[in-house]
Amino acid sequence: MSTEKKSNVRWVVAALMWSAIAINYIDRTVLAAAAPYITKEFSITPSQMGIIMSGFFWSYALLQVPAGWFADKIGQKKTLGFAVAWWSIATALTGLGTGFKSILGFRVALGIGEAAAYPSNAGISSKWFPDKERATVGGLFDSGSKFGGAVAMPLIVWLIVLFGWKMTFVIIGGAGIVWSIIWILYFKEIPEEHKGVNAAELKYIREGQSQKEGLDKEQPMKWYELLKYRNIWAMCIGFFMINYTSYFFITWLPTYLIKEKGMGMLAMGFAAMLPLLISMFVEVAAGWASDKVQSKGWLSLTATRKVFLVGGLLMASCIGLAAFAESAVTAIVLLCIAKSGTTVAASQVWALPGDVAPKNMTSVVAGLQNSVSNMGGVVGPIVTGAILQATGSFTMALLLSSALLVVGILNYLFLLGKVKHIEV
């Protein structure tokens, strides 16, 4: 009987996945910090800057499914390595922009590269981790977005003060290029190919998988045939509702804290970081807890996913209560609960593609889900802005977010069926 202690190479891979998402969010945030300097230097109007900022989402949302298809077809190593290098170069080149058209072009290019990040990570999870660790690693790599969102603004502002906005784009872009080199040198497509993975770890990974992905590349259906299945629709609709609320925290939250709660810039900067930082730890804990609940046999996989999805969205609906909070402290506490709720749900959202996808199609399913969800990111800030302009208050906008989360709860309760792999 072998007593060999298993290696833990998969957790090094998870750390690289986490850092890719953190870099992803830092890169997409540079423009927001540099916007005042760019608008002044190139006489860019507010409406033009709005178009530049939205340009990222044009390519990002549109290319989720193609990026997922490439990741499953040619492998996540090449796809993610190339994608991070691409978006990092696009970030660095933004510092060479000469006006509206060139900066918009670099922003669209950024979205092209970043489209591959989440679908690739979902596919890597299905190859490199046993099923019982799926939500843990999903919560872990997605928590990188909260870290990136929280630290990006103070980090970028500091770099701009030291080096100017142009060099800041170059520095931030350079970090991603370094990541790509490390990724290509270290990562292998499947654990069987990695010299650091010993027999004990390989056995632990593969014997813990209901579908042993990556050993071949055969896909049982076309990507659009996935739309025949109710669970795919439930995943897309539910994630849309989550992202509608999530994007409030990285778009309108600073304005809300200043306009509605009377905060100064310094206090706002600290307060706006809190929901993201707290939710980063909550998401990892939720993923770990759900895996424990399911692996111990306390609940079925379907029940586990639904309990954490619905529980998370109930927490997230506290965003509606923030509309009636009289003090800034109460509002921030409620917003921290709300943001943490979205991440409790997100830990399950990023486990679901591996739970549901046909063999070798996890990245495609993740891309499809993420494509629809990012429409929430496009629509949410626009609707919130329109409500603010019409009413002069965030009250109705926060209540609408809460109402949509209730729709998300009903969706996961009733439209999402038994969580299992799609059988062909």
HSE on the CB side for 324, CA within 13 Å? 5
- Binning pLDDT at 50, 70 and 90, where does residue 239 land? very high
CA distances from 62 to 119, 216, 226, 263 (A): 13, 28, 17, 37
Task: Choose the weakest-confidence range: 92-96, 216-220, 237-241.
Answer: 216-220
- Provide the H-helix boundaries in 317-394: 318-321, 328-349, 352-356, 362-391
Q: Read off the pTM.
A: 0.90
- Look up residue 388 and give its two tokens: 């603010």
| Residue 231: closest CA among 302, 144, 285, 324 | 302
The pLDDT of residue 44 is 85
| Opening angle at CA 150, ends 283 and 391, nearest 5 | 95
pLDDT-above-90 percentage for the chain? 73
Give the DSSP H/E element, type plus range, for residue 51. Answer: helix 46-62
How would you class 17 by CB atoms within 10 Å of its CB: exposed for 0-12, middle for 13-18, buried for 19 or more? buried
Question: Tens of pLDDT along 102-119?
Answer: 999 999 999 999 999 999
For residue 335, pLDDT over 80 is answered with yes
Q: What does 379-399 look like in DSSP terms, one character per residue? A: HHHHHHHHHHHHHSSSHHHHH
Helices (H) and strands (E) in the chain, counts: 19, 0
Return the pLDDT at 252: 84
Residue 306 has pLDDT above 60, yes or no: yes
- Asked if the model's pLDDT at residue 314 lies above 80, the reply is yes
Spatial CB neighbours of 266, under 8 Å, sequence gap ≥ 6: none
Q: Which of 51, 60, 50 is nearest to 28 (CA)?
A: 60
How far apart (Å, rounded) are the C-alpha atoms in residues 183 and 185? 5
Per-residue pLDDT band for 207 (boundaries 50, 70, 90) equals: very high
CA distance 335 to 316: 8
Closest CA to 107 of 29, 176, 21: 29
The residue with tokens 């990570």 is 121
Single out the residue of 21, 382, 417 nearest to residue 238, CA to CA: 417
Round the CA-based radius of gyration of the chain to a whole number and report it. Answer: 21
3-state secondary structure of 8: coil
CA gap 313, 214 in Å, rounded: 33
Structure token digits, residue 186? 């270290």
Instruction: Give the angle subtended at the CA of 270 by the CAs of 156 and 17, to the nearest 5°.
Output: 55
Task: Answer for the pair 31, 52: CB distance below 8 angstroms, yes or no.
Answer: yes
Residue 2's pLDDT is 54
Query: Taking all residues of the chain, what is their mean pLDDT, rounded to a whole number?
Result: 92
Across 71-75, 178-182, 206-210, 267-271, least confident range: 267-271
Helices 230-246 and 395-410, axial angle in degrees (round to 10) = 160
How far apart are alpha carbons 157 and 333 in whole angstroms? 26
pLDDT of 1: 46
Q: Cα–Cα distance between 136 and 212 in angstroms, integer?
A: 19
Residue 358 has which token pair? 């046909």
Q: 60 or 56: whose pLDDT is higher?
A: 60
